[in-house]
Amino acid sequence: MALSHGTSASSAPGLDLFEGTPYRTIQRLRAGGMGEVFLVEHRTTGRRVVAKLIHAKLAADPALVERLRIEAQSAAQLDHEYVVKILAFEQTRTGRPFLVMEYLEGRTLAEEIMARGPLPVLEAVSFSCHLLSALTAVHEKGLVHRDIKPDNLFVCPSSDGTRCLKLLDFGVVRVMPGSHAVDPLPHDFRTRTGVVVGTPRFVSPEGAMGQPVDPRGDLYAVGLCLYIMLVGRGPFDHFDGEQMLLTAHATEDPEAPSRLSQTPIPPELDRALLKALAKNPEDRFQTAEEFQHHLEQVEVSLRRPSGWLETTAFHAGDVAPLQPAVTLTAPQPTVETRALPSPVVSPLRPSTPASDSPVPPAIEPSLAPIPATADRTRLRLSPLVAAIVFTIALVIAGLAALGLVTVLRGSP
Ligand SMILES: Nc1ncnc2c1ncn2[C@@H]1O[C@H](COP(=O)(O)OP(=O)(O)O)[C@@H](O)[C@H]1O
Ligand SMILES: [Mg+2]
Q: Are 141 and 170 in contact (CB under 8 A)?
A: no
**Is there a domain that residue 354 lies in?**
no
Query: What pLDDT, on the 0 to 100 scale, is given for residue 380?
Result: 38
Structural domain contains residue 180: no
Domain-embedded: residue 382: no
Whether 222 maps to a domain, the answer reads yes
Kindly name the residue from 16, 147, 218, 375 that is annotated as catalytic.
Answer: 147
pLDDT given at position 347 = 36
Q: Are residues 111 and 95 in the same domain?
A: no
Q: Residues 17, 137: one domain?
A: no
Phi, psi values for residue 47, rounded to 5°: -70, 135
H helix or E strand, kind and range, residue 143: strand 143-144
Residue 98 covered by a domain: yes
The residue segments making up the domain with residue 152 are 106-174+196-302
Question: What ranges in 141-241 are assigned the alpha helix state H?
Answer: 205-208, 215-231
Ligand 1, closest atom to CA 171? 21
- Tell me, what's the pLDDT at 405? 59
The reported pLDDT for the residue numbered 193 is: 63
- Assess whether 270 carries a catalytic annotation: no
Pocket probe mutation, ligand 1, options 4, 26, 169, max atoms within 8 Å of Cβ: 169
Is position 296 within any domain?
yes
On whether the CB atoms of residues 99 and 68 are closer than 8 A, the answer is yes
Distance 168 CA to ligand 1 centre (A): 7
CATH code at position 163: 1.10.510.10
Q: What is the pLDDT of residue 184?
A: 81
**Is-contact 51 97, C-beta < 8 A?**
no
Claim to verify: residue 153 and residue 239 sit in the same structural domain = yes
- pLDDT score, position 396: 73
Residue 183 three-state SS: coil
Residue 33 has what pLDDT? 80
Q: Going residue by residue through the chain (412 aa), what tens digit of pLDDT does each one get?
A: 333 333 444 455 567 999 999 999 999 999 988 899 999 999 999 999 999 999 998 999 998 999 999 999 999 999 999 999 999 999 999 999 999 999 999 999 999 999 999 999 999 999 999 999 999 999 999 999 999 999 999 999 987 889 999 999 999 999 998 888 888 877 655 556 667 788 999 999 999 999 989 999 999 999 999 999 999 999 999 999 999 999 999 999 999 999 999 999 999 999 999 999 999 999 999 999 999 999 999 999 988 876 655 555 443 333 333 343 444 446 677 766 777 765 553 433 333 333 333 323 222 222 222 233 323 323 334 455 556 656 776 777 777 667 665 655 655 4
State the helix-helix crossing angle for 121-140 and 288-303, rounded to 10 degrees. Answer: 160
DSSP-derived pairing of the beta strands 23-31 and 35-42: antiparallel
- Is position 64 within any domain? yes
Of ligand 1's listed atoms, the one at least distance from the Cα of 154 is 26
What is the model's pLDDT at position 412? 43
Same-domain status, 144 and 281: yes
- Report the pLDDT value the prediction gives residue 389, as an integer from 0 to 100: 59
| CB atoms near residue 367 (< 10 Å) | 16
φ, ψ dihedrals at 229, nearest 5°: -60, -35
| Residue 32, pLDDT score | 81
How many structural domains are present in the chain?
Answer: 2
Rounding to the nearest 10 degrees, give the CA dihedral for residues 254, 257, 262, 267: -150
CA of 34, closest atom in ligand 1: 22
Q: Atom 10 of ligand 1 has which residue's CA nearest to it?
A: 37
Per-residue pLDDT at 372: 30
Mutual orientation of helices 121-140 and 215-231 as an angle, nearest 10°? 170
Q: Hey, which residues does 268 pair with through a beta bridge?
A: none
> What was the pLDDT predicted at 312?
52
Distance (angstroms) between ligand 2 centre and the Cα of 255 equals: 27
Ligand 1 atom 17 nearest Cα? 169
How many of the other CB atoms lie within 10 Å of CB of 113? Answer: 22
pLDDT at position 183 is 84
Beta carbons of 260 and 231 less than 8 angstroms apart: yes
